[in-house]
A and B are shown apart, each in its own frame.
Chain A
Amino acid sequence: NAGVTQTPKFQVLKTGQSMTLQCAQDMNHEYMSWYRQDPGMGLRLIHYSVGAGITDQGEVPNGYNVSRSTTEDFPLRLLSAAPSQTSVYFCASSPRRVNGELFFGEGSRLTVL
């Protein structure tokens, strides 16, 4: 029962470095998304995808890129990390319907120095 797998779980970066957070799901879900969680701000949507080759911006997309080449994978790229991107990141997937619950990965804690 893999579900949604996120890697790495922890990462420390220096300002200006780049990295990719990996996300994979094995439930054949059309919808995949990335959130960041900051204290007192809940979960904010960064980017989402409704299928392979289709991505769109959420509430806080600046500084992040995504791609969706397969149904299973939805990586999140930080091209030039900034301290403001220090956060906990969650990948989530679901069937694309109004009653489809989100299935979350375990989260990735990113610190940018």
Chain B
Amino acid sequence: AQKITQTQPGMFVQEKEAVTLDCTYDTSDPSYGLFWYKQPSSGEMIFLIYQGSYDQQNATEGRYSLNFQKARKSANLVISASQLGDSAMYFCAMRGPTGNQFYFGTGTSLTVIP
């Protein structure tokens, strides 16, 4: 069963604007972790941000924030003040309580327009 759903194959955003990338997940475990990764055209995977299921506050890392809505099982990534260098694929991922398996979504391709 698919664990992570990213419904936006491609997104465009104007430079300096904010953009939200959607992610929903499916799990019955009370303990889990949610991650976002960036993959630029060069191919490497870059960790951006983490949210734990028990965290009361939304995670933030610089221009990245995670809009965590536990009841809706969503973990959307918000990028503020978009830059040209933000153009990349973005993957949402979830890790279960045993830490044994990571599940990745299919990704969203973000293009920042000057």
Contacts and interface: CB of A to CB of B under 8 A. Distances in A.
B44 A44 contact: no
Nearest to B101: A45
Nearest to B43: A107
A51 to B, nearest CB: 11
Contact of A58 (B9, B96, B101): B101
A31 interface: yes
Interface string B64-80: 00000000000000000
A42 interface: yes
A28 B104 CA distance: 24
Given A104-B45, A106-B43, A107-B44, A98 B101 contact: no
Contacts of B4: 42
Given A101-B50, A106-B44, A107-B44, A44 B104 contact: yes
Contact of A43 (B33, B43, B91, B96): B91
A92 B37 CA distance: 13
- Measured as residues with beta carbon below 8 angstroms from the partner, the interface class of chain B is 20 to 34
A39 to B, nearest CB: 10
A96 interface: yes
Contacts of B52: 98-99
Interface in A65-113: 88, 90, 92, 94-104, 106-107
Given A42-B106, A102-B35, A97 B99 contact: yes
Given A40-B9, A48-B100, 6 more contacts: A35-B104, A42-B6, A45-B102, A50-B100, A96-B99, A106-B43
Interface of A: 31, 33, 35, 40-45, 48, 50, 56, 58, 88, 90, 92, 94-104, 106-107
24 contacts: A31-B100, A33-B102, A42-B91, A42-B107, A45-B101, A48-B100, A48-B101, A92-B45, A96-B99, A96-B100, A97-B99, A98-B32, A98-B96, A98-B97, A98-B99, A99-B33, A99-B52, A100-B33, A100-B95, A101-B35, A101-B50, A102-B37, A102-B93, A104-B44
